[in-house]
C-alpha cells in the first residue's frame, strides 16, 4: 500500500511527498480509535515486521514499549515526553509526539539513534579506557624522573638505565594512544581496524618483553593471525598482565595452536590457579570492579572490545583466558 492516498488534496499530497523523504519515521493517527491515517517509508522500515496500514489500529511492534499507551498519553492531558526504546538487537529508537490542536489527528515521530548511541558509548568508554591504561606507563615515567632528580642523573650507568626506561614507557604510551583511538573509531563505526596477516610468535615475544615477566611461550613459528597489530598487542598485554597480577603466583604460559574453521586459539594459563567461580569472574569482568578492590579492572574489558572489533572473541574459564582469532597464512 502506498502512503499517499488518491483522496488527498493537492496540498496534502505535496506534504505526503515531503514526509516520505524524511529519515525519521512519521505516523499520523486518528486520536479516537488510534487508527493509522498516514505512515512514511521510514516508519514502516523502523517498525518492520509489524505492518502500518491506513485505517488499521496502531501496531505494537516492541515487547517493552507500547505505542498504544504512548498515543493515549499524547492525546490526553499534559505533554507526552520523549521516550527511549532499547531493542534486543542493540538498536535504540527515540519516540516523540505532536499533540493535536483543534484536530483529531496526532503525530508520532520515531528516530533511529543507534549510531549516535554507539558514538556516545565509544566516547565514554574511550575516556575511561584511556585514564586506566595510560596510568601505568605514566607512573613509570614519573618514578624514573624522580629517581633521576634525586641524584641518579649523576651516575652514568644509573642515568642511562632510567633514561632507557623512560624511552620504553614513552613508546608504550604512543602504542596505547594508537590502539585506544583505533578501538574508539571502530566501535563508533567511523573507521574499521586495519587488519593484516602477521606471524604470531614474534608478536607474543614482544608482548612478553612489554609485561617484563617470565612467561613460557608455546607457538609454532609458521602460525599467523589476521588482526590489527596494535589492538592485538594491547589485548594480549592486558590479559597476560592480569594473569600475573591476579594469579596464584605460579607459572604463566601462553599456548597458541590452529584449530578447525581457520581459527587460531591462544590460551593464557596460570598453572596453579583454579581461578574464581566463573560467575564471579564474569561479574568482575563485566563491571570492571575497581583495581583497589581486588577486581580485574578495565584491562579485560579493553581486551574483549579489542578482540571483538577484529572478529575475534575472548573466552574465560577457571585459571585461563582464551583468545580466538581468524587464521592468517604467511604463504599468501
Q: Domains in the chain, start-ordered, CATH in brackets?
A: 10-112 (3.30.450.20), 116-191 (1.10.287.130), 193-332 (3.30.565.10)
What are 241-288's pLDDT values in tens digits?
888 877 667 788 999 999 988 999 999 988 765 554 444 444 444 433
| 223 has pLDDT over 90 | yes
Strands 83-86 and 252-259, sheet pairing: unpaired
**pLDDT (tens digit, 9 = 90+) per residue, 85-103?**
999 888 999 999 987 777 8
Please identify which residue in the block is written with the cell numbers 614513552: 170
Give this prediction's pTM: 0.52
What's the confidence (pLDDT) of residue 151? 87
| Nearby residues of 272 by Cβ (< 8 Å), 6 or more positions away | 247, 248, 249, 250, 251, 319
The CA-CA-CA angle for residues 316, 298, 240, to 5°, reads 55
Res 8 pLDDT > 90: no
- 278-314: per-residue pLDDT in tens? 444 444 444 333 333 333 345 677 788 889 889 999 9
According to the model, what pLDDT value does residue 287 have?
36
Average pLDDT, the chain: 81
Amino acid at each position: 500500500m502506498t502512503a499517499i492516498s488518491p483522496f488527498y488534496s493537492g496540498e496534502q499530497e505535496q506534504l505526503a511527498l515531503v514526509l516520505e523523504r524524511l529519515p525519521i519515521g512519521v505516523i499520523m493517527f486518528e486520536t479516537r480509535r488510534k487508527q493509522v491515517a498516514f505512515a512514511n517509508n521510514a516508519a514502516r522500515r523502523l517498525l518492520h515486521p509489524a505492518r502500518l496500514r491506513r485505517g488499521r489500529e496502531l501496531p505494537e511492534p516492541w515487547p517493552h514499549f507500547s505505542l498504544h499507551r504512548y498515543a493515549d498519553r499524547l492525546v490526553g492531558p499534559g505533554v507526552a515526553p520523549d521516550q527511549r526504546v532499547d531493542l534486543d538487537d542493540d538498536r535504540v529508537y527515540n519516540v516523540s509526539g505532536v499533540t493535536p490542536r483543534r484536530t483529531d489527528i496526532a503525530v508520532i515521530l520515531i528516530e533511529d539513534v543507534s549510531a549516535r548511541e554507539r558514538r556516545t558509548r565509544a566516547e565514554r568508554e574511550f575516556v575511561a579506557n584511556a585514564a586506566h591504561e595510560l596510568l601505568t606507563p605514566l607512573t613509570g615515567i614519573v618514578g624514573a624522573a624522580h629517581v633521576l632528580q634525586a641524584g641518579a642523573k649523576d651516575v652514568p650507568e644509573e642515568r642511562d638505565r632510567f633514561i632507557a626506561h623512560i624511552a620504553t614507557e614513552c613508546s608504550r604510551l604512543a602504542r596505547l594512544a594508537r590502539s585506544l583511538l583505533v578501538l574508539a573509531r571502530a566501535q563508533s563505526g567511523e573507521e574499521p581496524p586495519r587488519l593484516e596477516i602477521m606471524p604470531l610468535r614474534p608478536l607474543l615475544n614482544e608482548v612478553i618483553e612489554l609485561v617484563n615477566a617470565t612467561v613460557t611461550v608455546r607457538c609454532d613459528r609458521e602460525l599467523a593471525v589476521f588482526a590489527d597489530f596494535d589492538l592485538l598487542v594491547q589485548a594480549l598485554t592486558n590479559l597476560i598482565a592480569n594473569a600475573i597480577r591476579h594469579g596464584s603466583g605460579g607459572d604463566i604460559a601462553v599456548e597458541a595452536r590452529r584449530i578447525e574453521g581457520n581459527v587460531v586459539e591462544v590460551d593464557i594459563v596460570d598453572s596453579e590457579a583454579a581461578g574464581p567461580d566463573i560467575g564471579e569472574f564474569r561479574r568482575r569482568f563485566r563491571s570492571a570492579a575497581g583495581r583497589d578492590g581486588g577486581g580485574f579492572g578495565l584491562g579485560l574489558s579493553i581486551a574483549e572490545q579489542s578482540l571483538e572489533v577484529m572478529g575475534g572473541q575472548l573466552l574465560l574459564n577457571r585459571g585461563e583466558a582464551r583468545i580466538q582469532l581468524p587464521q592468517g597464512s604467511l604463504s599468501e
